[in-house]
Amino acid sequence: MITVQLSMVNIFWFRRDLRIHDNPGLALAGKAGQLLPLYIFDPKQWIGDPYGSRHYQFLCDSLEDLKMSLLEQGHILVFRVGDPAAILSSFFEEFNVGALWASQEVGDHCARDRDRKVTQCCSAVGIQFEQVPQNGVIQMLENRDTWARQWHNFMLDDLVTLDAQPSSLIIRSDAMPCPTIFGLSGERNSNIQKGGRACALELLSSFKKTRGQHYSKEMSSPVTAFEGCSRLSPHYSFGTLSVREVFQNIQRKRKRLRENKSSHSKAWARSMNSFSSRLRWHCHFMQKFNDEPRMEFENLHCGTRGLREECFNEAFFESWKQGQTGFPLVDASMRALKATGWINFRMRAMLISFASYHLWLHWVRPAKHLASLFTDFEPGIHYPQVQMQAGTTGINAIRIYSPSKQARDQDPEGMFIRQWIPELGSVNTKFIHTPWNDPGKVDDYPSPIVDESHARREAADRMHSLRKSNGFANESKEVFKKHGSRARVLRKPSTKSHQLGLF
Ligand SMILES: Cc1cc2nc3c(=O)[nH]c(=O)nc-3n(C[C@H](O)[C@H](O)[C@H](O)COP(=O)(O)OP(=O)(O)OC[C@H]3O[C@@H](n4cnc5c(N)ncnc54)[C@H](O)[C@@H]3O)c2cc1C
């Protein structure tokens, strides 16, 4: 191994920010001196839930792409396999390190543990660990009142990029590890979205040019959403695109649409407005989790503790996981997700709502299961969304999604259901949402595991009495003060029973 060391080395540690464009931490590290770009494969992340083969495949695609982009700028991406704190310590011993740089991450408990250890080992040798904001999440936020404005300012700020500056550092790199060393499947799954910035840019371009025109109408139905949604989510999660660059790109499109008054551009404008607000939601949820990481394990609202924890029905959970509940849209959504790594927002919400209300399962294990299936798993969005759909935040209206109503509204002809449940392929459309009523009976598809209306009524009654209990409303106010969106500041937190909704 040859090491030529001309000046202080600045290590940039890539994590969930696998891009060189609009990566503020990387740009700063590059300006600070000799750059050493590093990615560490941490075995702890890959052993056990929720990360698995689909995430690993997306990661490796993205790293290949990143390696080439860095090379074009004269930098060699170094790979290491092992414990990040130990690996970084060995770099600190070997090199004259100026600082360790990284992008801020809103991580789960493993990522926070890892960062605590790395911070300790940096302090022990007096090396600064600079974690630079990358997506509008604000550390040590005092309250939510000014958050939206600060987020907007960050999103409109200039994009940054890494200066081309050939490095003279030549450092041994480990090979990218074969997934099997972490016990993951070595076979490529071609149904999972492909990672890498090139794919992200293609998706953004096709969404902006054609696919996004009817986004606001097409996002809710699983028949149209696979094509009509942007499908950019795994790219934000792995950081192959920044939310800011997409926001600015869409702002330019919105401006052009405002100048053009045709009816064609009205549909586009509506869709791009909805899309743009969702980019703010992305960071709004991540901010919530950043400020309250216990949401990975505990109900946010103390008054909802003990609601479902004690009575987990394993058989229900297994049927839900296997797409065998007897409710066609629930099962088709679960099977589609398992096969492709993605499902649209409304079906995600329905899956958790069904598990939480109809099956009365505490959300922690269903959340882990979905995280293992979502290629775009992002703890900062996932846990707050799960808790919102499970009714444990205490500040959101209770939405009990009816699987039959959703099926009639979102898949009226049963196209999506037939695609993912071949057992129902020949069922008459009249019975596709309620195959149990078909006189021809389908033998290889299960009967419903619960009585839908009875289970919903029971869940609604439980939630209703909980929300009326002593102290519930006061705690809701506190939760709202800390985490509630100020988009509609005048609206009070929804603690009343009339906000129990059937969707
Ligand atoms: C129970 C549940 C769990 C979820 N878990 C995740 C997760 O782990 N990772 C994840 O990225 N999203 C999650 N979402 C949010 C949402 O479903 C996905 O972001 C979206 O379906 C991704 O597809 P897309 O990129 O085509 O989205 P588009 O509809 O094209 O939206 C564009 C972007 O806006 C953001 N966005 C859209 N909807 C939401 C939302 N409701 N909340 C926050 N941000 C949003 C995402 O960054 C998304 O990529 C979850 C939603 C629910 C109900």
Per-domain boundaries in the chain: 9-134, 197-291, 295-502
Q: Pocket around ligand 1: residues whose beta carbon is below 6 Å from it?
A: 219, 229-233, 236-237, 275, 278-279, 281-282, 285, 344-345, 348-349, 352, 374, 376-378, 381-382, 385-386, 389
Pocket test for ligand 1, best of 238, 245, 280, 345 (most atoms within 8 A of CB): 345
Q: How far is ligand 1, taken at its centre, from the CA of residue 79, in Å?
A: 30
Rounded to an integer, what distance in angstroms lies between the CA atom of residue 26 and that of residue 14?
9
Rounded to an integer, what distance in angstroms lies between the CA atom of residue 475 and that of residue 394?
8
Q: How far is ligand 1, taken at its centre, from the CA of residue 379, in Å?
A: 11
Task: Give domain 9-134's CATH superfamily.
Answer: HUPs (3.40.50.620)
Q: Are 328 and 417 in contact (CB under 8 A)?
A: yes
Rounded to an integer, what distance in angstroms lies between the CA atom of residue 107 and that of residue 355?
25
Nearest 5 degrees, angle CA 378-CA 383-CA 388?
Answer: 130
CB atoms within 10 A of CB 54: 25
Ligand 1 atom having least distance to the Cα of 374: 8
Q: How far is ligand 1, taken at its centre, from the CA of residue 208, in Å?
A: 18
User: Would you state the structure tokens that stand for residue 202, as one six-digit string?
Assistant: 């293609």
- Asked if the domains 9-134 and 295-502 are classified in one and the same CATH topology, the answer is no
Which residue owns the Cα nearest ligand 1 atom 3? Answer: 382
Q: How far is ligand 1, taken at its centre, from the CA of residue 376, in Å?
A: 8
For every residue of 273-326, DSSP letters joined together read HHHHHHHHHHHHHHHHHHH-GGGGTS-SSGGGTTSSTT---HHHHHHHHHT-SS
Which residue owns the Cα nearest ligand 1 atom 19? Answer: 233
Residue 494: per-residue pLDDT: 43
Q: Are 327 and 411 in contact (CB under 8 A)?
A: no
Which residue owns the Cα nearest ligand 1 atom 45? Answer: 282
**Nearest C-alpha neighbor of 189 from the set 63, 337, 341:** 341
Ligand 1 atom having least distance to the Cα of 377: 8
Pocket test for ligand 1, best of 49, 108, 376 (most atoms within 8 A of CB): 376
Q: How far is ligand 1, taken at its centre, from the CA of residue 225, in Å?
A: 12
Q: How far is ligand 1, taken at its centre, from the CA of residue 425, in Å?
A: 30
- List of E strands, 63-197: 78-81, 97-103, 128-132
Would you give the distance in Å from CA 128 to the centre of its chain?
30
At 172, the amino acid letter reads R
Would you give the distance in Å from CA 185 to the centre of its chain?
22
Q: How far is ligand 1, taken at its centre, from the CA of residue 368, in Å?
A: 16
Q: How far is ligand 1, taken at its centre, from the CA of residue 374, in Å?
A: 10
Per-residue CA distances from 94 to 3, 14, 89, 91, 171 (Å)? 10, 20, 9, 5, 11
In the block, residue with structure tokens 């096969």: 339
Rounded to an integer, what distance in angstroms lies between the CA atom of residue 436 and that of residue 275?
38
Question: What angle, 0 to 180 degrees and rounded to 10, lies between the N-to-C axes of helices 345-353 and 364-373?
Answer: 150
Ligand 1 atom having least distance to the Cα of 376: 9
HSE-up of 503 (CA within 13 Å, CB side)? 18
Residue 3: per-residue pLDDT: 46
**pLDDT (tens digit, 0 to 9) for every residue of the chain, 503 residues total?**
444 445 789 999 999 999 999 999 999 999 998 999 999 999 999 988 899 999 999 999 999 999 999 999 989 999 999 999 999 999 999 999 999 999 999 999 999 999 999 999 999 999 999 999 998 899 988 778 889 999 999 999 999 989 877 777 778 899 999 999 999 999 999 999 999 999 999 999 999 999 999 999 999 999 999 999 999 999 999 999 999 999 999 999 999 998 887 777 889 999 999 999 999 999 999 999 999 999 999 999 999 999 999 889 999 999 999 999 999 999 999 999 999 999 999 999 999 999 999 999 999 999 999 999 999 999 999 999 999 999 999 888 889 999 999 999 999 999 999 999 999 999 999 999 999 998 877 889 999 999 999 999 999 999 999 998 888 888 888 888 888 776 644 344 444 433 444 44
Q: How far is ligand 1, taken at its centre, from the CA of residue 382, in Å?
A: 8
The pTM of this model reads: 0.94
Phi, then psi, of 464 in degrees rounded to 5: -60, -50
Which residue owns the Cα nearest ligand 1 atom 29? Answer: 229
Pocket test for ligand 1, best of 246, 278, 295 (most atoms within 8 A of CB): 278
SS3 489: coil
Residue 6: per-residue pLDDT: 52
- List of E strands, 82-161: 97-103, 128-132
Which residue owns the Cα nearest ligand 1 atom 8? Answer: 377
DSSP 8-state symbol, 117: H
Ligand 1 atom having least distance to the Cα of 348: 53
User: Could you tell me which CATH number the domain at 295-502 has?
Assistant: 1.10.579.10
DSSP 8-state symbol, 487: T
SS3 500: strand
**Nearest C-alpha neighbor of 104 from the set 209, 242, 225:** 242
- State the chain's maximal CA–CA distance in angstroms: 81
Q: How far is ligand 1, taken at its centre, from the CA of residue 37, in Å?
A: 30
Q: How far is ligand 1, taken at its centre, from the CA of residue 342, in Å?
A: 10
Q: How far is ligand 1, taken at its centre, from the CA of residue 125, in Å?
A: 40
Chosen CATH of 197-291 out of 3.90.76.10, 1.25.40.80, 1.10.3720.10, 3.30.70.360: 1.25.40.80
Q: Are 377 and 287 in contact (CB under 8 A)?
A: no
**Nearest C-alpha neighbor of 155 from the set 20, 24, 272:** 24
Q: How far is ligand 1, taken at its centre, from the CA of residue 221, in Å?
A: 14
Pocket test for ligand 1, best of 270, 373, 385, 485 (most atoms within 8 A of CB): 385
Residue 469: per-residue pLDDT: 86
